[in-house]
Amino acid sequence: MEHFIDGKRHGGPGRTADVYNPATGQVAKQVLLASAEDVATAVEAAELALPGWRATGLSKRSAIMFKVENIIRERTPELAAIITAEHGKVLSDAAGEVARGLENVQFCAGLMHHMKGEFLEQAATGVDVHQTRQPVGVVACITPFNFPAMVPLWMITTAIAAGNTVILKPSERDPSAAVWIAEAFAEAGLPPGVLNVVHGDKEAVDELLTNPLVKAVSFVGSTPIAKYIYETSAQHGKRVQALGGAKNHMVVMPDADLDGAADAAISAAYGSAGERCMAVSVLVTVGDVADPLIERLKERIAKLTIGDGTDPASEMGPLITRAALDRVNGYVTGAEAEGATVVVDGTQQEFDGEGFFTGVSLLDHVRPGMKAYDEEIFGPVLSVVRVDTYEEAVRLINTNQFANGVAVFTRDGKTARQFEFEIEVGMVGVNVPIPVPIGAFSFGGWKNSLFGDTHMYGPEAFNFYTRRKLVTTRWPEPSESQINLGFPTH
């Protein structure tokens, strides 16, 4: 897989990495890994394209967004197949990812509204003040493997709509969707150099973080890397938003609909093999609901179909790599030694072939201090933590280092309102297991789930990708001119 620089595929000699089909475990292609020089070439192309794109009328930018949305929507099956081939998620899940990404394209098509400034007449006698939004410049977007289409569409669409030029660095594990999207933008009329794609590893990332022409960096990934991205970018004077890891809890109150809660937990914990930053990984059972809820979970787990993502019968596909498979299974095989109970051991499920498959696992009697609770597993493992009271559940969640998403399942409105008020997490669901906001709002957590102060996509993204410029205007008569060394007042 080649880079996409200045409107065309960009190849050449250099280091490469294997791209696997996770369902077969076989190498499907090679991806080029950009050198620092390759990245610098892309940055220079983006810098050269910046003046022209910034001067492009907002109506033309909006028209390109509408065209991109139509192209991607009409060809969603094609893009979904690319995602499934390299990530492994089932085709319906891949198509759903594309649909959620298109929400942001639709939002950005209204850029004439989002880019509006402010005007204040007669701030002082004969003095008017207005504020405009202007692009920050060349923007780097570094995206994760688990959503190879949705997260790029969260970032690049807003950055481009705001008048910036972009270097997109997708995961080298599933790189093809990013190039497909870049070519869709080109087909929609985006000028060369406005959107560039470079593949790579730490060498490419470090060049983006330190290159003085790059003015802002957006990132989604694990917490250790998010912290590194944030600190390195800030040291080099860049604006940065870096979304990190998660440990999303789902609280089930004694009055909850247990069948509905079980369905939601299964869907949120095991969808996309748990490789979602908003996946539910901890089920917090309050009072006596644990045993009946676990029985319902076991019944549903036994009926799940795991297989190749291209098979319409499959509900869950493989993990992304062999290393991910070994790491995830390690949490299950080591759980009993730490005092947990393995209710369902997915590591024992057998699969044909060499794909990176594992079954789903359910752990009970998990507590803080155990690896399965403390660390982000990023796989199909659901842990049950038993607590006696609502207050204990809130305290458990609020002391966790991660604060991306959380949910509460209850029939009581007072409990739901109290939970919303007290919980220290960025995205909250009430009887909604995965509370990812619609495109008109912004996505992001708190604590070690976000480094920076700006959330992803939606209104906050337009704040991140623009700078506000304040202009104060006065048109005095010549007779009013005078020297005054005092501090100006109104």
Domain ranges within the chain, ordered by starting residue: 3-245+445-472, 248-430
Among residues 112, 116, 228, 104, the alpha carbon closest in space to that of 156 is found at 104
Instruction: Report whether 61 contacts 229 (CB < 8 A).
Output: no
Torsion of CA 77, 81, 83, 85, to 10 degrees: 180
Is the pLDDT reported for residue 230 higher than 80?
yes
Average pLDDT of the chain, as a whole number: 96
Identify the pLDDT of residue 489. 73
Residues forming a β-bridge with 282: 249, 383
Instruction: Report whether 172 contacts 17 (CB < 8 A).
Output: yes
Residue type at position 212: P
Q: Which of 181, 277, 325, 461 is catalytic?
A: 277
Identify the pLDDT of residue 471. 96
Is the pLDDT reported for residue 345 higher than 80?
yes
CA triple 5-72-189, angle to 5 deg = 50
Identify the pLDDT of residue 483. 86
Residue 323: other Cβ atoms inside 10 A: 10
Question: Which fold would CATH assign to domain 248-430?
Answer: Aldehyde Dehydrogenase; Chain A, domain 2 (3.40.309)
Is the pLDDT reported for residue 490 higher than 70?
no
Model pLDDT for residues 414-431, shown as the tens digit of each residue: 999 999 999 999 999 999
Token pair of 171, please?
A: 């995961």
Residue 79 three-state SS: helix
E strand residue ranges, 188-326 = 195-197, 214-220, 239-243, 248-252, 280-286
Is the pLDDT reported for residue 95 higher than 70?
yes
Q: How far apart are the first and last CA of the chain?
A: 61
How many whole angstroms separate alpha carbon 274 and alpha carbon 379?
A: 4
Percent of the chain with pLDDT over 70: 100
How many whole angstroms separate alpha carbon 40 and alpha carbon 42?
A: 5
Is the pLDDT reported for residue 458 higher than 80?
yes
Instruction: Report whether 385 contacts 339 (CB < 8 A).
Output: no
Q: Domain 3-245+445-472 class? A: alpha beta
How many whole angstroms separate alpha carbon 394 and alpha carbon 23?
A: 39
Among residues 189, 110, 177, the alpha carbon closest in space to that of 149 is found at 177
Identify the pLDDT of residue 250. 98
- Residue 429 is given by DSSP the state E
Model pLDDT for residues 22-38, shown as the tens digit of each residue: 999 999 999 999 999 99
More confident residue, 438 or 283: 283
pLDDT (mean) for 462-483: 92
pLDDT confidence of 439, banded at 50, 70, 90?
Answer: confident
More confident residue, 170 or 483: 170
Furthest-apart CA pair in the chain: how many Å? Answer: 91
Instruction: Report whether 384 contacts 364 (CB < 8 A).
Output: yes
Is the pLDDT reported for residue 216 higher than 70?
yes
Kindly list the distances between the CA atom of residue 82 and the CA atoms of 77, 181, 200, in Å, as whole numbers in the listed order: 9, 11, 19
CA triple 23-27-28, angle to 5 deg = 80
- Residue 277 among the catalytic residues: yes
- Our measurement of the distance from residue 378's CA atom to the centroid of its chain's CA atoms, rounded to an integer in Å, reads 14
pLDDT (mean) for 279-307: 98
Residues forming a β-bridge with 168: 141, 197
